């Protein structure tokens, strides 16, 4: 495949930067997981696997310009892979998680090849049908996939050198964060590589890109496969954290929430994926607490979190059309220009 090549020097800088990001992020997450209690550690784990999925999806939607309403189903593929390998084949955790990414990426090949032929709403429709169609397989083959009840996974056991009293939730958070950091490393390098530029070229103008010798269909398929791999790893981590893979965990709403997360966070940006993951994890629990802090009738308090979620989606999209990260960028720009204005205007005085 012809790609827009980068100089070796630039490639080295990208690699160093991404390593720095991963190390810095790792230290922050390590300190954070130490500070948090059991419940918040679990939330951290949830946020970490959401980030893995959202990062892959934001690369697909934001960089390659393809929409997917089917990433929840891809997460299900990863989750069931992990559950089957650990439960039936007694694989260790790490190879099972690697397998979840690989298997889902393989599933992503035919889906991505189909997707690269479709555009806009037609792609949305096809991936939506994928999101509702695939989990139905679990019902069709209950002997393998456990039907409605799903498959239960034994909880991951923290290694003995961490001490006997090391909480399970913190260990789960570490596992999920490690997965998220690997996704961050891979995608950061990919976005800043020749492939990342190829993707943007294809997104902005397919005809011009193909006239430049870029293979549009193949590039889009590749983006889908990488994105599927991330979603598979995220799904595998979800199964490990929840210790369960069941069809109820992957409804259409999950796929829609994932799309919401990437658009709300800021399309195409890995920082936006962090915002998106934070929103997906924190907003429901905050709104739940808020709804139960008032004494309201059951009908109202049961639906208040949902109403707030809807209002936040509408309000955020109207306030920040380019997502939270876009809003942050605009704010930083404003602060920057405010600070530089006195210096710029002083010579005239």
Among 140, 160, 293, 338, binds other proteins (CB under 8 A): 140
Half-sphere exposure of 45 (CA within 13 A, CB side): 25
Please, which of residues 56-85 interact with other proteins by CB under 8 A?
A: 61, 67
Structure tokens, 251: 């409804």
Q: Is 124 in the site for other proteins (CB under 8 A)?
A: yes
User: Based on CB atoms, which residue is closest to other proteins, 299 or 345?
Assistant: 299
Tell me the β-bridge partners of 244. 152
Phi then psi dihedrals of residue 213, to 5 deg: 95, 10
Among 6, 21, 93, 118, binds other proteins (CB under 8 A): 118
Binding mask 314-343 for other proteins (x = CB under 8 A): x--xx--xx---------------------
Task: Provide the 8-state DSSP code for 213.
Answer: T
Among 94, 300, 330, 331, binds other proteins (CB under 8 A): 300
Beta strand ranges found along 31-72 (DSSP E): none
Q: Is 248 in the site for other proteins (CB under 8 A)?
A: no
Binding mask 206-245 for other proteins (x = CB under 8 A): xx--------------------------------------
- Contact in structure between 69 and 127 (CB atoms under 8 Å): yes
Q: Cα(127)–Cα(115) distance, rounded to whole angstroms?
A: 8
The rounded Cα 126 to chain-centroid distance in angstroms is 20
The burial class, CB within 10 Å (0-12 / 13-18 / 19+), for 294 is exposed
Which parts of this chain interact with other proteins (CB under 8 A)? 61, 67, 114, 117-122, 124-126, 128-130, 132-137, 139-140, 205-207, 252, 256, 259-260, 263-264, 267, 299-300, 302-307, 309-314, 317-318, 321-322
């Amino acid at each position: 495949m012809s790609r827009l090549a980068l100089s070796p020097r630039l490639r080295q800088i990208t690699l160093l930067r991404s390593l720095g990001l991963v190390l810095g992020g790792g230290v922050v997450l390590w300190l954070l997981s130490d500070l948090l209690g059991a419940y918040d550690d679990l939330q951290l784990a949830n946020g970490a696997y959401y980030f893995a999925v959202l990062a892959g999806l934001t690369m697909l939607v934001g960089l390659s310009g393809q929409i997917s309403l089917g990433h929840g189903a891809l997460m299900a593929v990863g989750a069931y892979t992990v559950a089957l390998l650990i439960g039936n084949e007694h694989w260790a955790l790490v190879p099972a998680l690697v397998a979840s990414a690989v298997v889902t990426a393989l599933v992503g090949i035919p889906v991505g090849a189909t997707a690269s032929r479709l555009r806009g709403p037609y792609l949305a429709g096809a991936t939506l049908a994928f999101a509702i169609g695939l989990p139905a397989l679990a019902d069709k083959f209950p002997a393998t996939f456990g039907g409605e009840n799903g498959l239960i996974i034994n909880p991951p056991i923290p290694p003995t050198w961490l001490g006997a009293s090391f909480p399970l939730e913190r260990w789960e958070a570490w596992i999920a964060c490690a997965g998220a950091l690997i996704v961050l490393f891979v995608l950061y390098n990919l976005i800043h590589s020749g492939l990342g530029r190829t993707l943007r070229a294809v997104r902005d103008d397919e005809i011009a890109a193909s006239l430049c010798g870029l293979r549009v269909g193949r590039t889009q398929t590749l983006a889908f496969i990488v994105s599927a791999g991330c979603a598979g790893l995220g799904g595998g981590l979800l199964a490990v954290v929840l210790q369960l893979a069941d069809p109820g965990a992957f409804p259409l709403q999950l796929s829609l929430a994932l799309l919401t997360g990437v658009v709300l966070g800021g399309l195409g940006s890995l920082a936006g994926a962090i915002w998106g993951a934070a929103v997906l994890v924190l907003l429901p629990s905050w709104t739940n607490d808020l709804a139960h802090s008032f004494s309201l009738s059951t009908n109202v308090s049961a639906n208040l979190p949902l109403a707030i979620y809807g209002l936040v989606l509408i309000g955020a999209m109207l306030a920040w059309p380019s997502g939270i990260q876009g809003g942050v960028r605009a704010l930083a720009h404003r602060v920057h220009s405010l600070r530089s204005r006195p210096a710029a205007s002083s010579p005239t005085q």
